[in-house]
C-alpha cells in the first residue's frame, strides 16, 4: 500500500462512507426540526375535553399525574408548562398534549419512531462515552481528509493555484452566519 495524500483521502472516505451519509441526511433533517421532528411522526391524534374552568395555579405535578392516569398515557413525562395564551402543553417521550385552559378542549398527539431516520439522528445526538470516542476519531478522519484533499490535485486546479480561493470562500460563509446573522 502506497501512502499518498490520494490513497489516504480515498481510504478514509471509504471507511467512513456510511457515517458520512448518515450524518449528512440526518443533519439536513435536524436543521429543520422546528417544522418537522425527524425522529418521530404523528400517527394518532385524539381530541379531548376537560371540565372548565381550569386555572394556571391548578396545574401541578399532582394534576399532571392524575391527567396521565385518566387518559391512560403510558409514557415518560418530560415537562409541562402553561404558555402566555393559557394553553397547557405536556410533553412525554412519545406523546404531546395541548389543552386550552379556557375552553378545556385539547389534543393528545401520539408519535412513532421514524424508521432508519431516527437511528441516524440519534448518531448526531448520542453522548455515550464510546460513541464520543468514535466521533472524535471520525472528526480526526474528516480533518485528515480535508488536509489530504488539498494535495490530491496538481496543475491549474491545485490547491495552490485555485483551491485556496474556494477554501477561503468556504470559511467565510460560516463566519458570516455565525457572527452577522445569529
* 46-68 CB burial, b ≥16 within 10 A, e <16: eeeebeeebeeeebeeeebeebb
**Burial annotation 100-139 (CB, 10 A radius, 16+ → b, else e):** bbeeeebebebbeebeebbebbebeeeeeeeeeeebeebe
Pairwise CA distance, residues 172 & 159, whole Å: 17
DSSP string for 69-111 = HHTT--S-EEEEEE-TTSEEEEEESSEEEEEETTT-EEEEEEE
What is the per-residue pLDDT across 85-102, written as a single tens digit (0 to 9) for each?
A: 999 999 999 999 999 999
Q: How far apart are CA 99 and CA 102, in angstroms?
A: 9
- For the chain, report the end-to-end CA distance as a whole number of angstroms: 47
46-82 tens-digit pLDDT: 999 998 878 889 899 999 999 999 999 999 999 999 9
**Residues 167, 173, 177: CA angle, nearest 5 degrees:** 155
Q: So what's the pLDDT on residue 28?
A: 82
Q: 3-20, pLDDT tens digit by residue?
A: 888 889 889 989 999 888
Q: Residue 1: what pLDDT?
A: 65
Residue of 180, 179, 147 lying closest to 163 (CA atoms): 147
* 173/181 Cα distance (integer angstroms): 11
Q: What are phi and psi of 34, to 5 degrees?
A: -70, -30
What is the pLDDT, as a whole number, of residue 40?
Answer: 73
Amino acid at each position: 500500500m502506497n501512502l499518498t495524500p490520494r490513497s489516504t483521502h480515498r481510504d478514509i472516505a471509504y471507511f467512513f462512507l456510511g457515517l458520512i451519509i448518515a450524518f449528512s441526511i440526518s443533519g439536513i433533517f435536524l436543521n429543520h426540526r422546528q417544522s418537522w421532528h425527524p425522529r418521530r411522526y404523528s400517527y394518532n391524534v385524539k381530541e379531548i375535553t376537560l371540565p372548565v374552568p381550569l386555572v394556571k395555579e391548578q396545574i401541578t405535578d399532582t394534576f399532571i399525574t392524575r391527567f396521565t392516569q385518566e387518559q391512560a398515557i403510558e409514557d415518560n413525562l418530560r415537562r409541562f408548562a402553561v404558555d402566555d395564551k393559557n394553553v397547557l402543553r405536556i410533553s412525554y417521550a412519545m406523546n404531546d398534549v395541548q389543552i386550552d385552559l379556557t375552553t378545556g378542549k385539547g389534543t393528545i398527539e401520539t408519535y412513532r419512531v421514524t424508521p432508519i431516520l431516527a437511528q441516524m439522528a440519534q448518531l448526531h445526538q448520542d453522548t455515550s462515552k464510546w460513541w464520543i470516542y468514535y466521533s472524535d476519531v471520525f472528526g480526526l478522519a474528516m480533518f485528515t481528509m480535508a488536509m489530504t484533499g488539498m494535495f490530491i490535485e496538481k496543475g491549474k486546479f491545485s490547491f495552490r493555484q485555485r483551491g485556496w480561493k474556494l477554501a477561503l470562500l468556504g470559511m467565510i460563509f460560516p463566519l458570516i452566519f455565525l457572527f452577522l446573522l445569529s
